[in-house]
Amino acid sequence: MTMTTDPTLPVASTIGSLPQLTYQLVLAFLTNRADTLTRRYDYAHENQFGANGIYWKGRKPAEGELTDVLPTLVMDDQIGPSMAREVDAQFAKDAEWDAIRDGNALDPGDEIVTALTAWHLHNDQLANAAKDVARQRFWAGRMVARVYIPDKYKEQLMTVAGQPKTLADALKLVRVKAVDPRQGGPLVDGHGDVLGYYYSYLVQITNQQPKRYIEVHTPEHVYLFLSNTGSDLQLVEEADNPFYALQRQDRGGDEYLMWHTNRDGGSALSESALMMQDRLNVVTTYMGRNDDQTGYRQFIVSNAEKPKDINGKDIPYQMGPAVVMRLIGTPYDDVAADASITLRRHDPKWEVVDPLNPTNFHIPSINQWKGQVLALLDQRWTIDTEGRSGVSGESKRQSRKPFERRVAFAAQDAGAFYSWALRAALTLAASLLGNPQQYQDITFRPKFYLDIDAANLEELKVKLLMWQGGALSLTALLEATPGVEDPKAEEERVKEGQANNPVNAARQDALNKLLGNANQSGG
């Protein structure tokens, strides 16, 4: 295969040792990136009308600006609470983990365990990052994270006195953080292979223009660029990837200080879910407008003169008990041809209009759209059993089953994040101590406490075991998997990717371990 280089781009020598293709992928992100995630982020974070009402799907003013009526729009958010329920169910309590060496869990008193436990619990950073990436999985369909050393410690590390002496001291300098998928993620070539990662962020210094930095991770190095304009990148710093010395030692592929995984089926927020949320917001807004505009009984008069006071000025009709209205029809002609002739008048008409009854008009529509949004997110059970005291426990369990399958599979990805974050933090800390290979044989096995029914988890476990034993087809298993819209197509994709795929093998192993801990359910 022959590759051509764009002559307008800097050559590799101007960007350190960064491979040219990786560099071009970074530039593509900076200059040609299509933002397909912001709308989904907004809908999941209570911004369903958008800037200046751009997302509003209801009627717009015939005159004036939409921004004038924005304060009157009503949002009935079902997406944000649905995301919160799915994430909370994965973390009924803080996850636990074992550090594994040669297939055996290390003793709780081991230095690695005690140091990483303190790091894990520092400001709840690992649990908070795990919840953040779990939210990303829901709205973006992708989890992205990075392990790093904050800038404030860099000067300290440049001095001999500031160098950490113990693993615990080194870990105090290490942080883990979720990365917004709109700002960072994998650099993927035309064949779908990951060449590295990027992370773009702004640094604001008082009284100065904000500066954009681009962090680029490759199997060998980590680069930091200052982005000036467009394709003008200035190399600021270049360091070794601490994982590089460990690469290809039966690890199943390259490892980085950044990580990602994709949700099967993409974002949970399908276009259908967004559209249905739009309709729910519209009808909820109209119910409020009904209260404002026709919330009182109306008296509508036509073909009648307006009532006047003794001075001839128009006054409103008098309403209320013991009030008698006298309606005078409007004349056919303003002036009679003969003063002795009485003006001909129209017959006045009137109508009493009661306000719309929300239980007949708005509420059924609200319930319809709300139910459709929740059904797409496997959370219809939140309203199906609402206020129904006679619903049996078995009925409730069955209605929650799709949601709990979704939680179990989401926890598989959250567990993969825990395993990577602990290993990345340990490796980065070891590099600060001068020996990044010191803990190369350590892996991690997370244990999650899920807020789901143990019987539903057991059923999913049985189906998995039946499939592994050949008693259940892969199609049937995939039909029970949340987020898989076309089980047949997914079956072909899985079969093609199963052979010699260490990532799939690792994910399968993680799922086996997750489902092997049925007693860890919080339900």
The whole-number pLDDT of residue 344 equals 81
Altogether, the residues listed in the chain come to a count of 523
Mean pLDDT is lowest, of 59-68, 72-81, 276-285, 351-360, for 351-360
As a whole number, mean pLDDT of residues 224-245 equals 86
Instruction: Specify whether 314 is located in the same domain as 453.
Output: no
For residue 379, is it within any domain? no
CA–CA gap between residue 56 and residue 65 (Å, rounded): 13
Per-residue pLDDT, 9: 36
Residues 315, 423 within the same domain: no
12 or 391, which is more confident? 391
- Residues 219 and 316 grouped into a single domain: no
Establish if 370 belongs to a structural domain. Answer: no
Residue 128: inside a domain: yes
Burial of 168 (0-12, 13-18, 19+ CB in 10 A): middle
- Pull the structure tokens for residue 342: 């009485």
Q: Is the pLDDT of residue 286 over 60?
A: yes
Domain end point (choices 288, 320, 354) = 354
Lowest average pLDDT, out of 230-234, 474-478, 519-523, goes to 519-523
Separation in Å, CA 298 to CA 348, 357, 360: 16, 14, 19
Same domain for 148 and 20?
yes
Residue 126 pLDDT: 96
Task: Please tell me the predicted confidence (pLDDT) of residue 241.
Answer: 94
Give a yes or no: residue 466 inside a domain. yes
Paired tokens of 192: 């779908």
pLDDT on residue 457: 64
pLDDT digits (tens, 9 = 90+) for 427-438: 999 999 999 889
For residues 422 and 339, the model is more confident at 422
Query: Is residue 33 a part of any domain in this protein?
Result: yes
Residues 304 and 425 grouped into a single domain: no
Q: Give the residue-averaged pLDDT of 311-338.
A: 79
Q: pLDDT tens for residues 136-186?
A: 999 999 999 999 999 999 889 988 889 999 999 999 999 999 999 999 999
Residues 200 and 317 in one domain: no
Q: Do 202 and 307 share a domain, yes or no?
A: no
pLDDT surpasses 90 at 117: yes
Is 375 within the bounds of a domain? no
Per-residue three-class SS string for 92-148? CEEEEEEEEECCEECCCCCHHHHHHHHHHHHHHHHHHHHHHHHHHHHHCCEEEEEEE
> Is residue 281 assigned to a domain?
no
In this prediction, residue 79 has a pLDDT band, given cuts at 50, 70 and 90, of very high
Q: 13-18 contacts: CB < 8 A, separation 24 or more?
A: 14/235, 15/223, 15/225, 15/233, 15/235, 16/221, 16/223, 16/235, 16/238, 17/220, 17/221, 17/238, 18/216, 18/218, 18/221, 18/223, 18/235
Question: Does 390 map to a domain?
Answer: no
Cβ atoms of 174 and 133 within 8 Å: the answer is no
The listed range with the strongest mean pLDDT (41-45, 466-470, 475-479, 497-501) is 41-45
Instruction: Count up the domains in the chain and report the number.
Output: 2
Q: Same structural domain for residues 349 and 459?
A: no
Same domain? For 23 and 134 the reply is: yes
Quick one: average pLDDT of 318-333? 81
Placement of tokens 């055996």 in the chain = 104
Pair (113, 260) in one structural domain: yes
Per-residue confidence (pLDDT) for residue 245, from 0 to 100: 74
- Write down the residue that tokens 């200052």 correspond to: 226
In the sheet with 93-101, reading across from the earlier edge strand, the strands are: 104-105, 93-101, 442-449
- The arithmetic mean of pLDDT across residues 486-504, rounded, is 61
Domain match, 49 and 87 both: yes
pLDDT, tens digit, 9 for 90 and up, residues 13-34: 356 678 888 888 888 877 777 7
**Contact between residue 57 and residue 160 where contact means Cβ atoms under 8 Å apart:** no
pLDDT for res 242: 93
Host domain of residue 36? 16-59+68-270+398-520
One domain for residues 55 and 114: yes
What is the distance in angstroms between the CA of the first residue and the CA of the last residue of the chain?
Answer: 55
Average pLDDT, integer, range 23-50: 88
Residue 39 has pLDDT above 50, yes or no: yes
